[in-house]
Structure 1
Amino acid sequence: MDPAFLLTALIVVLIPGTGVIYTLAIALGRGGAASVSAAFGCTLGILPHIAAAILGLAALLHASAMLFQVVKFAGVLYLLWMAWGALSEKGILDAQPDRAPASHWKIIRRGFLINILNPKLSIFFLAFLPQFIPADTAAPAVAMAWLGFVFMVMTFVIFVFYGQAAALVRGRVLSSPVIMKWLRRSFAAAFAALGLRLAFSAR
């Protein structure tokens, strides 16, 4: 495994994005076990983008302005909806004792949608993965799939770490209504900012 790929992938995964924010929100609202589901959902959402890069669909997405815009604005709307959910007292940061039991499938599905509705991920993998595949590789598609798998494993491990770290301070955070109020606002602002950044991003 190319050390340059591992280092670059690690830096990319460590940079907080929508997946990290979602995992942290779930960890604070639902606890450590739920945050693992969030991390899994976000990681699973990477798989279609890697497949698209391998099959060349990402190149089609990049070439088709209309298709790119449709997927992009679907992602924008979803992120804005997540922002509204974070702001609501009954949203993803709902930590009341009488709240409905967390559905791990629902948490996974939301994390999956957060990543799959970001068309820039497909284009990122199309540009990122081939850089670390030697020109004389007999099966470049297999090599890209392997690098994509390693990237997904790193994503899952790091997201779980973020989630468990947040879960450790969950009790202290939940005991302060003031902190919870500002956390809701902060997470809502983060989701909204990421949505707006995606909206104004170019291919």
Structure 2
Amino acid sequence: MGLDFWITSFVVTATPGSGALFTIAAGLSRGVRMGQLAAVGCALGALPHLVLALSGTAAVLAASPVAFEVMKWLGVGYLLYMAWGTWHQRGVLAPGLEDGERSSSAGRTIGGAVLVNLLNPKLTLFFFVFLPMFVDPASPGATVRMAMLGAAFMVVTLVVFGIYGACAAWLRSYVVGKPGVMGRIGQVFGLSFVALAMLLAFTPR
């Protein structure tokens, strides 16, 4: 794994997107633990896309307008659902929960983070294009090496998003208990998810 791979992976993961936004919202509303769990969920959400890319299914997705559109609009719908929830301070941006509710909240946070990445068809196509840049698909053992690169990319995602979640949790003390501030933050996150949904909706195959 050369330096160019690590730099590219860092730039891609550090660029704000739906996963980063979800992680920041989780850390901001519920603290560092939920922020880290969201980061884990986002990293896990990339795994199915990696499997699709390695199995060749990504090529089918790229060649099939119907498959791509179905996956894309499911992603758009979920982002709009996230927008509605954060605007009304529900879901990932809901206030911190009592001890008895934290276990189920952790599961919902991880599940939501997985869905954010899982329903993004661009991630499958990204792996399909990204990995062959660093490994010749025709060389012996190429699939294993690409799987290792994909796993390394997921680790970078986990670390970068974990930092996002921790920083958001640090800012939490300045906004918790201030309904007016939280309301405005919820609106900003809601509009951001709408913007991401629009970008995904107009993404060509």
Deviates more, 1:56-65 or 1:102-111: 102-111
User: Offset at 1:90?
Assistant: 3.3
Opposite residue 174 of structure 1, the aligned amino acid is V
User: Offset at 1:96?
Assistant: 5.6
Shift in alpha-carbon separation, 1:38–1:147, aligned structure 2, 3 A:
same
1:186 aligned residue (182, 185, 188): 188
Instruction: Kindly indicate whether the alpha-carbon contact (under 8 Å) linking 2:53 and 2:124 is maintained by their aligned counterparts in 1.
Output: yes
Which residues in structure 2 correspond to 1:112-127 (within 5 Å)? 112-127=114-129
> Which residue in the other structure is 1:27 paired with?
27
Count of aligned pairs between the two proteins: 203
User: Hey, what's the Cα distance between the residues in 2 that align with 1:199 and 1:23?
Assistant: 22
> Which residue in the other structure is 1:17 paired with?
17
User: Offset at 1:98?
Assistant: 6.2
Find out whether 1:111 has 2:113 as its counterpart. yes
Unaligned runs of 5+ in 2: none
User: Offset at 1:120?
Assistant: 1.0
> Which residue in the other structure is 2:101 paired with?
101
> Which residue in the other structure is 1:171 paired with?
173
CA RMSD for the aligned pairs? 1.6
User: Offset at 1:35?
Assistant: 1.0
User: Offset at 1:91?
Assistant: 3.2
Opposite residue 120 of structure 2, the aligned amino acid is N
Which residues in structure 2 correspond to 1:1-203 (within 5 Å)? 1-95=1-95, 101-102=101-102, 103-134=105-136, 137-203=139-205
TM-score (norm 1): 0.95
Shift in alpha-carbon separation, 1:135–1:184, aligned structure 2, 3 A:
closer
User: Offset at 1:179?
Assistant: 1.8
Opposite residue 203 of structure 2, the aligned amino acid is S
Instruction: Kindly indicate whether the alpha-carbon contact (under 8 Å) linking 2:137 and 2:143 is maintained by their aligned counterparts in 1.
Output: no
User: Hey, what's the Cα distance between the residues in 2 that align with 1:51 and 1:80?
Assistant: 27
Shift in alpha-carbon separation, 1:98–1:149, aligned structure 2, 3 A:
closer
User: Offset at 1:176?
Assistant: 2.8
TM-score (norm 2): 0.94
User: Offset at 1:175?
Assistant: 3.5
Shift in alpha-carbon separation, 1:100–1:84, aligned structure 2, 3 A:
farther
